[in-house]
Chain A
Amino acid sequence: MYLPPFRYFAPQTLDEAIALLREHGDEAKLLAGGQSLLPLMMLGLARPGVLIDVNGIPGLDRIEAGGDDVRVGALVRHCAVETDPRLRARCPALADAAPLIGNIRVRHRGTVGGSLAHADPAAEVPLVATALGATIEVRGPDGARDIPAHEFFRGYLETALGPAEVVTALRLPAHGARMGHGLAELVRRSGDFAMVSACAVLGLDGAGRCTHAAVAMGGVGPSALRMRAAERLLVGQPPGDRALDEAADAVRDEVAPESDVHASAEYRRAMARVMARRALRAAAARAGGASPDAGPGAVRS
């Protein structure tokens, strides 16, 4: 219940936060919701000399719904993602993923920006951001820039953020007509990080063939990853059982999981196929017109 010592700053603007990051370099960590960083500090696994608390910076906690995208501020808490009706209408995948994050307390404090910057390979926000081809808006000493999700996650707990850069928002493309998403997670226990997770997005043309296919996998590599081979197999095909099975097989061959105390690499690989197929089936059903209420938002095993 006690944290190791650190210097604490509470900047009131982004520029101040960036200046502090520049000044303190590697020694500094940004504190948003604190639901990943503070446990690491509590356990002695992280010992930043400086904490830069961004919670007091105004303007970062808004959800803005545009015509063809949704902009989720970095300080938006997971529980707001879960309940915001505009976000749910435009980006149901993220809205469905939010309740899978940790527990109710974590969701009340944890933030979208924090989850992106922490880049846990099994976390839900990076997974959905990757599948949706979202854009991460960041700001640094040289101004603002956009980073596509597939370039943002670089490795285990590693991102493309520069040394003094701050995540400011997550920009998600709105779901189009005849698009559908599917989420599937394999957990050992309700509320835990997934052993394997999958998020699929399919878009269909008038003839019922896939014009768009995106599959992202979590927990089976150093970060959330797009499954390009599987996606290529799907585009141009109607999302029938055979096409989805082949895509799922491709996912199994494309992932590079590791073993840990909860599951072996071999089992994770096998489950990547199962979760990918479940996510794809849900996505295909939704894209094909099945009501989003037809089944649970996310399949949890």
Chain B
Amino acid sequence: MSVSPAASREYPERAALRFVLNGRPVDVWAAPQETLLAVLRDTLGATEVKYGCGEGVCGTCTVLLDGAPINACLTLGVHAQGRTVTTVRGLASPAGATGAAADGMHPLQRAFVAHEAAQCGFCTPGMLLTAYAFLEKHPHPTRAEIRAALGGNLCRCTGYARIVDAVEACVRARPGREDVLRDP
């Protein structure tokens, strides 16, 4: 049998992969077998993205792909080709714009500190990104809606109340009242 046209669609062992990470274009070599989580952690040193279960259940590997929260452990690196990826380190200036706050924090992050919404901190990056993406779409949620929105991110330390408190405080502080969070 002759080589089918489809066979030409096989990826090479490693291919150049370009995407925008936290506002900056990155170029890496990645094998198609590599998950986005592996590309981010091992190749790009973005260790703020955590491995927690590899099943898509815990949410510690949450990143935003074109603004939508996804499981980096269940997404191939090649799926980020040409797209934007945001980790918690990009939250303070997701578009990569200069002029991030002096403390390098988004108001949500500031609220997490003020409310001690992190204990061990391992779920925190994923929790923050989930909350951020949720608030982008639902700027005025109720407390119950916040709880539901965080339902896919496990936390073992806090019992969640503080996390909901922090997100709620951020909602109440909006808009233009981010100063509220600077001085709790």
A residues with CB within 8 A of B: 1-12, 15-17, 19-20, 23, 31, 34-35, 38-39, 42-43, 51, 53, 55, 79, 102-106, 108-109, 190-191
Which A residues lie within 8 Å of B38 (CB)? 1-2
Which B residues lie within 8 Å of A15 (CB)? 6
Cβ–Cβ contact A35 & B152, under 8 A: no
Cβ–Cβ contact B152 & A6, under 8 A: no
A-B contacts besides A3-B33, A9-B10, A43-B55, 6 pairs, CB < 8 Å: A1-B35, A1-B37, A16-B9, A35-B71, A39-B55, A105-B62
Q: In terms of DSSP, what is the predominant structure of the interface of chain B?
A: mixed
- Nearest chain-B residue to A19 (Cβ)? B6
Would you list 18 pairs from A and B whose C-beta atoms are within 8 A, ordered by A residue?
A1-B38, A1-B73, A3-B33, A9-B9, A10-B11, A10-B32, A16-B9, A23-B4, A23-B7, A38-B73, A39-B54, A42-B54, A103-B59, A103-B153, A105-B70, A108-B69, A191-B151, A191-B152
Give chain B interface residues in 1-30, CB to chain A under 8 Å: 1, 4-7, 9-11
Q: What are the interface flags for B139-161 relative to A under an 8 Å C-beta threshold, 1 for contact and 0 otherwise?
A: 00000000011011100000000
Q: Does B76 contact A (CB under 8 A)?
A: yes
| Bound: A94/B5 CA distance, A | 37
| Bound: A34/B56 CA distance, A | 10
- Nearest chain-A residue to B51 (Cβ)? A1
Q: Does B170 contact A (CB under 8 A)?
A: no
Partner of B152, one of A3, A19, A55, A104: A104
Query: Counting chain B CB atoms within 10 Å of each CB, which of A5, A7, A8 scores highest?
Result: A8
- Nearest chain-B residue to A189 (Cβ)? B151
Which B residues lie within 8 Å of A39 (CB)? 54-56, 74
| Bound: A102/B134 CA distance, A | 16
Q: Does B89 contact A (CB under 8 A)?
A: no
Q: How far is the CB of A79 from chain B (nearest CB, A)?
A: 7
Q: Does B113 contact A (CB under 8 A)?
A: no
Q: What are the interface flags for B67-83 relative to A under an 8 Å C-beta threshold, 1 for contact and 0 otherwise?
A: 01111011110110000
Partner of A103, one of B54, B56, B61: B56
Cβ–Cβ contact A109 & B75, under 8 A: yes
| Bound: A2/B130 CA distance, A | 23
